[in-house]
Copies of this chain bind each other. A is one copy, B any other.
């Protein structure tokens, strides 16, 4: 058994790093980062490159109705539910080279290592590349994994549009055309277990000197869209008393919301990330502002209490404007059942890697998979805790260490 586990952990860190750098060429911004938003031609090309690599190893590829991609290695009992692992290849508009991509390539490296070592498993093992994790083009994110876990909600997701009015349905059709030589399979299906490796996207592992984070769960989130409606008017002639300035109102609302979320122990995560002014012309009093709210916390009661205040704060600070508040999503905090986290901790121990339990501040596709199967996540450090930023960085040795842990856990789960 130890021999098999050693073989599983015999991953090639340089090969992993080289693939990360290769995929960083697709959608590169020229400033070290990536703009490879979900279901764009660049995102589709990244999926295509992965298919090419998989086929070179003789592995089978599949795509589904929401744009997820799977790379499958057969098991002895090939009809048993697979052990699944992976993450996503899409990025933020000014994203980095590691967020999501590391989890996919750690999974690919696991497949390649098992294949080349001739490691047999009872269960099939599958690398999943989940569609639209970031949610920057199509809101909300983690869309591919959400559809996988709840396939009957597919039509709702397909109707969502991006800022230009393109639907998810149209974008997925384009994806399926771009990957028309890849076999289609039905959305969803039983999964034996799911493991996702990821950069931490926060400063804790680096600060504490740990290489591996054994993720205990994922904080909850409430997402809102706010629309402030005023009236366009001439900037040079319209008296203040007659204005309905949507930007002034939105600014007052935003400051009141920030103040309402400023907790003493700095555990609340509250962000207005998207903020669009219309008509956005220097000499016109703005008639409309649309903005998003991303509010997260590990405590469901805090999510309820602070989130429930949002609408009244907006209304109370809208001045002469009208305001519409719409909740897009309320995701409860998730706690992983211990099975997979325990295996992750044991593997880190066995491999001599400094490790700790850690909650995930960010959301991940694992939050959807934990609804349908035992799930765990492996965090590795990233430089300065910086993520969703073109300067995102991680050390090759940490990425390799996380992959070794993952490969052993996959092996243990797949021989069962």
Which residues from chain A sit less than 8 Å from chain B, CB to CB? 92-94, 134-136, 139, 141, 200-203, 219, 221, 223, 231-242, 245, 247-248, 251-252, 254-255, 258, 262, 266, 268-287, 292, 294, 296, 360-363, 385-390
| Given A240-B262, A251-B254, CB of A294 within 8 Å of CB of B223 | no
| Given A238-B269, A273-B285, CB of A386 within 8 Å of CB of B294 | no
Excluding A236-B361, A247-B254, A273-B285, 10 further A-B contacts by CB distance (< 8 Å) are A139-B282, A201-B234, A201-B236, A234-B389, A235-B269, A236-B269, A236-B294, A236-B362, A238-B361, A271-B284
Q: How far is the CA of A388 from the CA of B223 in the complex (A)?
A: 34
With both chains docked as a complex, state the minimum distance between the C-beta of A328 and any C-beta of chain B, in angstroms: 9
Q: Which residue of B lies closest to A293 (CB)?
A: B282
- Interface pairs A-B: 7 shortest CB-CB: A237-B361, A235-B271, A202-B237, A236-B362, A282-B292, A136-B281, A94-B279
Q: How far is the CA of A92 from the CA of B282 in the complex (A)?
A: 10
With both chains docked as a complex, state the minimum distance between the C-beta of A403 and any C-beta of chain B, in angstroms: 21
A281 near B362: Cβ-Cβ < 8 Å: no
| Given A251-B255, A287-B389, CB of A280 within 8 Å of CB of B200 | no
B269 near A273: Cβ-Cβ < 8 Å: no
Q: Which residue of B lies closest to A35 (CB)?
A: B279
With both chains docked as a complex, state the minimum distance between the C-beta of A331 and any C-beta of chain B, in angstroms: 11
B287 near A237: Cβ-Cβ < 8 Å: no
Q: How far is the CA of A268 from the CA of B93 in the complex (A)?
A: 39
B275 near A280: Cβ-Cβ < 8 Å: yes
A236 near B251: Cβ-Cβ < 8 Å: no
CB-CB under 8 A from A387, the residues of chain B are 233-234, 237
Q: How far is the CA of A388 from the CA of B234 in the complex (A)?
A: 5
With both chains docked as a complex, state the minimum distance between the C-beta of A93 and any C-beta of chain B, in angstroms: 4
Q: How far is the CA of A54 from the CA of B186 in the complex (A)?
A: 66
What would 24 A/B residue contacts be, using CB atoms closer than 8 Å? A92-B283, A134-B281, A136-B281, A141-B283, A201-B237, A221-B236, A223-B282, A232-B389, A234-B389, A235-B388, A236-B360, A237-B387, A240-B262, A240-B268, A240-B269, A240-B270, A245-B271, A248-B254, A272-B286, A273-B280, A273-B282, A273-B285, A274-B280, A276-B280
| Given A223-B282, A283-B294, CB of A389 within 8 Å of CB of B231 | yes
B294 near A388: Cβ-Cβ < 8 Å: no
Q: How far is the CA of A268 from the CA of B241 in the complex (A)?
A: 11
With both chains docked as a complex, state the minimum distance between the C-beta of A228 and any C-beta of chain B, in angstroms: 12
CB-CB under 8 A from A234, the residues of chain B are 201-202, 361-362, 387-389
Number of copies: 2
CB-CB under 8 A from A251, the residues of chain B are 251, 254-255, 258
B92 near A284: Cβ-Cβ < 8 Å: yes
Q: How far is the CA of A232 from the CA of B311 in the complex (A)?
A: 27
Q: How far is the CA of A361 from the CA of B238 in the complex (A)?
A: 8
Q: How far is the CA of A287 from the CA of B388 in the complex (A)?
A: 10
CB-CB under 8 A from A296, the residues of chain B are 235-236
B240 near A94: Cβ-Cβ < 8 Å: no
Q: How far is the CA of A363 from the CA of B234 in the complex (A)?
A: 10
CB-CB under 8 A from A386, the residues of chain B are 231, 233
With both chains docked as a complex, state the minimum distance between the C-beta of A210 and any C-beta of chain B, in angstroms: 16
CB-CB under 8 A from A239, the residues of chain B are 266, 269
With both chains docked as a complex, state the minimum distance between the C-beta of A108 and any C-beta of chain B, in angstroms: 24
B284 near A272: Cβ-Cβ < 8 Å: no
B278 near A94: Cβ-Cβ < 8 Å: yes
Q: How far is the CA of A385 from the CA of B278 in the complex (A)?
A: 20
Q: How far is the CA of A273 from the CA of B285 in the complex (A)?
A: 6
Q: Which residue of B lies closest to A362 (CB)?
A: B236
B202 near A219: Cβ-Cβ < 8 Å: no
Q: How far is the CA of A76 from the CA of B362 in the complex (A)?
A: 79
Q: Which residue of B lies closest to A163 (CB)?
A: B280
A237 near B281: Cβ-Cβ < 8 Å: no
CB-CB under 8 A from A287, the residues of chain B are 94, 389
